[in-house]
Amino acid sequence: MSLELAVAQFNGEDTAVKRYAAAKERGDAPWMREVGFVEHHHGGRLVLRGVFAGHYLDVDESDHVSQKGAGIGAAAGGIVGILLGPPGIAVGLLVGGIAGAELGPPTDTEPEADAEELAERLRATVPRSSSAIVLIASPAEANEMFAALGEDAKSVRRTLTADEAAALDASLRAAPPAASERS
């Protein structure tokens, strides 16, 4: 069976989820349990949530922790806090640690971040300040999705080669299988 990458793209970062919810209110179809959502924020950050090629992803590029940054920030905040006495030390440690964890380079990332190839393809397909619904399924299911979402969805469709499907599966292998695939 051939697989197709079908992307329904919308203007606005949350429009895809709203359009999906509206389609879901009108009825339930098998494709609705096989989609992933992409938000490409105006600053370039990408959010992937949902089912992509049978694997569940929850990736938010703003979610990162820098342990080294947290340590450096806490130490710097504590030193500055010495000037304000014991309460200043406590506040300095807390504020410095939080700021350092957020601003430092990420050292702890989500396991799903291994889906970098998929994320880069979607980043190139979905423009900034927009969102999309992604379905990797048969052409018939893609047709059903586009029909349910309406005519104003910008559609991007491409049949995946066997090599591309295998590479996609390999890149998502670390992600947990979707609920429908576990049973």
Q: Tens digit of pLDDT for each residue in 61-102?
A: 765 555 565 566 556 655 765 666 666 566 655 665 566 555
Q: Do 5 and 160 form a contact (C-beta atoms < 8 A)?
A: yes
Residue 27: is it exposed, middle or buried by C-beta count within 10 angstroms (0-12/13-18/19+)?
A: exposed
More confident: 178 or 13: 13
**Tokens describing residue 20:** 């999906």
Average pLDDT, whole number, for the chain? 78
- Quote the pTM value: 0.69
Contact by Cβ (8 Å): 109, 10: no
Asked if 112 and 63 count as a contact pair (C-beta separation under 8 A), the reply is no
Q: Tens digit of pLDDT for each residue in 137-161?
A: 999 999 999 999 988 889 989 888 8
Q: Residue written as tokens 């793209």?
A: 9
